[in-house]
């Protein structure tokens, strides 16, 4: 499965904001430095998350971003959808065949696939990712194998 870099960078930014905002805002430059993503690229991604009411922006000096809600109230469904309609939306084709077979395919396959993806991502929150990240950090970066 292919996910656009915009989606990945967007989610990473949100987790970064979630983890590093201590009753304050997080700036694009901060995220850029911590996550090694071009600031100019982030300036293009974050406004999309703002329009989707996932983050709130404060303009001007001392400005930056915060989450609009606690991380456990922000689902990955929202986030992914805000960044790229194609990932979790109905299956589409560049040139849709409108035949009975295409209809059968849609019913047996495509619609069930998207149905699952939607309900799955609706049940994963930003908190889940952040928690997992914390755990990985605590582990010293290296996953631990006990043989």
Partner DNA sequence: TTAATTCCTATTGACTTGGTATGAAAAACA
Partner DNA sequence: TGTTTTTCATACCAAGTCAATAGGAATTAA
What does the binding site for DNA look like in residue numbers (CB under 7 A)? 4-6, 9, 27-29, 38, 40-41, 43-44, 46-47, 50, 57-65, 84, 86, 94-95
Q: Of DNA, its own copies, none, which one sits near residue 73, judging by CB under 5 to 8 A according to partner kind?
A: none
CA dist., res. 140 & res. 51, Å (int):
36
Q: Of its own copies, DNA, none, which one sits near residue 121, judging by CB under 5 to 8 A according to partner kind?
A: its own copies
CA dist., res. 119 & res. 139, Å (int):
31
3-state secondary structure of 104: helix
Task: For helices 126-138 and 76-83, give the axis angle rounded to 10 degrees.
Answer: 100
CA dist., res. 63 & res. 134, Å (int):
26
Residues 101-120 as x/- pattern, contact with its own copies by CB under 8 A: xxxxx-xxxx-xxx-xx--x
Residue 29 or 58 with smaller CB distance to its own copies: 29
Q: Of its own copies, DNA, none, which one sits near residue 91, judging by CB under 5 to 8 A according to partner kind?
A: its own copies
Binders of its own copies among 56-85, rule CB under 8 A?
76
Asked whether 52 and 43 are in contact (CB, 8 A), the reply is no
In whole angstroms, the minimum distance from the beta carbon of 55 to DNA comes to 8
Structure tokens at 108: 């047996």
């Amino acid at each position: 499965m292919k996910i656009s870099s915009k989606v990945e960078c967007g989610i990473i930014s949100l987790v970064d904001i979630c983890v590093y905002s201590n009753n304050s805002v997080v700036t694009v430059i901060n995220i850029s430095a911590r996550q090694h993503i071009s600031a100019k690229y982030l300036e293009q991604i974050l406004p999309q998350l703002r329009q989707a009411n996932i983050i709130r922006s404060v303009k001007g000096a001392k400005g930056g971003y915060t989450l609009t809600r606690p991380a456990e109230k922000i689902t990955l469904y929202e986030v992914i959808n805000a960044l790229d309609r194609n990932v979790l939306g109905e299956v589409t084709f560049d040139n849709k065949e409108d035949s009975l077979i295409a209809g059968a395919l849609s019913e047996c396959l495509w619609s069930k696939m998207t149905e699952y993806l939607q309900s799955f991502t609706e049940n994963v929150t930003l908190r889940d990712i952040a928690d997992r990240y914390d755990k990985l950090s605590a582990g010293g970066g290296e996953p631990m194998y006990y043989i």
